[in-house]
């Protein structure tokens, strides 16, 4: 007689744990989205209908819209800094050998691995000595600093999978380095550059620790929301949070799709 296989207990257990983790992480987001359509000023369930009231209140809130504009401007500026400095740095690491390269490959990850509060305190202590006062300018530089690491790591990983022989062929045909970069390298790493830029924009938009220690005067959106929540739960916060959630999910999906296409093209 054939011995019956032992029942697989581990797989259902892993599924249960995974589902529990996802519920723990995303159920609060779902609650925020649902309550953003609550017609009442007090969050209560079941709701007494569905309304866009708090979206209209949100759009009429000048302070909130001003903070949103600042956050978008900082995110665009920080992403630009990250791309303009991160792409050349990734190219240097991937295509050139120099003393200290291995150490630099690890040090560049520090802005991603260090807690945001440590980075914020360090920048708050350093910037005044460099003549940079605590302001939106300091916030922009602070965001750009850690976004460089985002772009560098994404583009560097793509360059490591790019066959260097096509660059050598371009040079053999007489193309100068800039021509090779714009006509050979950039088209092959375009998906990684765009994907890292979208991810950088998303991370900058909701950055709190670095912003908190460097800002003075005008608030970014996360700081403005935090200030509003200190005075009590405001239903319009649910509305603006729902829009940010939708935007973040959209940008992350696009970024992941582009990264996947880039890997497929590399293979």
- Provide CB contacts within 8 A for 190, sequence distance 6+: 262
Asked whether residue 32 falls in the same domain as residue 100, the answer is: no
Q: What is the pLDDT along the chain (267 residues), one digit of tens a residue?
A: 455 665 666 788 888 899 999 889 888 888 888 888 887 777 777 777 788 888 888 888 888 889 888 999 999 999 999 999 999 988 888 887 778 778 877 787 777 777 888 888 888 888 888 888 888 888 898 888 889 988 998 888 888 888 778 877 887 777 787 888 888 888 888 888 888 888 889 888 888 888 888 887 788 888 888 888 777 667 788 888 888 888 888 877 887 776 666 555 555
Q: Which three-class secondary structure state does DSSP give residue 175? A: coil
**Which one-letter DSSP state was computed for residue 182?**
I
Are residue 131 and residue 29 in the same domain, yes or no?
no
Residues 119 and 247 in one domain: yes
Based on the domain organization, do 208 and 247 belong to the same domain? yes
**Are residues 225 and 171 part of one domain?**
yes
SS3 112: helix
Residue 2 lies in a domain: no
Q: Is residue 147 part of a domain?
A: yes
For residues 18 and 70, membership in a common domain is answered with no
Q: Are residues 43 and 95 in the same domain?
A: no
Contacts of 234 (CB under 8 A, 6+ apart): 228
As a whole number of angstroms, the distance between CA 108 and CA 111 comes to: 7
- Identify whether residues 157 and 100 lie together within a single domain: yes
- Taken in order 245, 250, 65, 76, is the CA torsion positive or negative? positive
Q: Which domain holds residue 100?
A: 62-266
Q: What is the count of structural domains for the chain? A: 2
- My answer on whether 36 and 139 are in the same domain is no
Do both 79 and 19 map to the same domain? Answer: no
Same domain, 117 and 184: yes
Distances (CA, A) of 42 to 37, 39, 49, 54, 235: 12, 9, 13, 12, 8
Rg (CA), the chain: 23
Q: How far is CA 157 from the centre of its chain?
A: 17
């Amino acid at each position: 007689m054939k011995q019956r296989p032992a029942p697989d207990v581990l797989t259902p257990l892993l599924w249960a744990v995974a589902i529990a983790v996802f519920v723990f992480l995303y159920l609060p987001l779902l609650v925020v989205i649902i309550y953003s359509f609550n017609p009442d000023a007090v969050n209560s369930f079941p709701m007494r209908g569905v309304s866009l009231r708090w979206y209209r209140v949100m759009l009429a809130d000048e302070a909130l819209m001003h903070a949103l504009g600042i956050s978008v401007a900082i995110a665009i500026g920080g992403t630009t800094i990250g791309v303009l400095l991160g792409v050349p740095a990734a190219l240097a690491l991937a295509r050139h050998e120099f003393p200290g390269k291995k150490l630099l490959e690890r040090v560049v990850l520090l802005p991603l691995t260090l807690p945001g509060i440590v980075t914020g305190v360090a920048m708050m202590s350093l910037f005044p000595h460099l003549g940079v006062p605590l302001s939106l300018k300091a916030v922009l530089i602070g965001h750009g600093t850690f976004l460089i690491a985002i772009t560098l790591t994404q583009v560097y990983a793509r360059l490591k999978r790019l066959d260097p022989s096509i660059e050598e062929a371009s040079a053999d045909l007489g193309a100068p380095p800039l021509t090779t970069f714009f006509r050979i390298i950039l088209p092959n790493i375009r998906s990684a550059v765009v994907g890292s830029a979208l991810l950088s924009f998303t991370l900058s938009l909701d950055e709190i620790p670095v912003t908190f220690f460097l800002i003075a005067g005008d608030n970014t959106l996360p700081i403005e929301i935090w200030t509003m929540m200190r005075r009590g739960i405001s239903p319009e916060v649910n509305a603006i949070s729902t829009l940010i959630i939708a935007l973040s999910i959209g940008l992350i999906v696009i970024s992941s799709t582009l990264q996947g296409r880039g890997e497929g093209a590399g293979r």
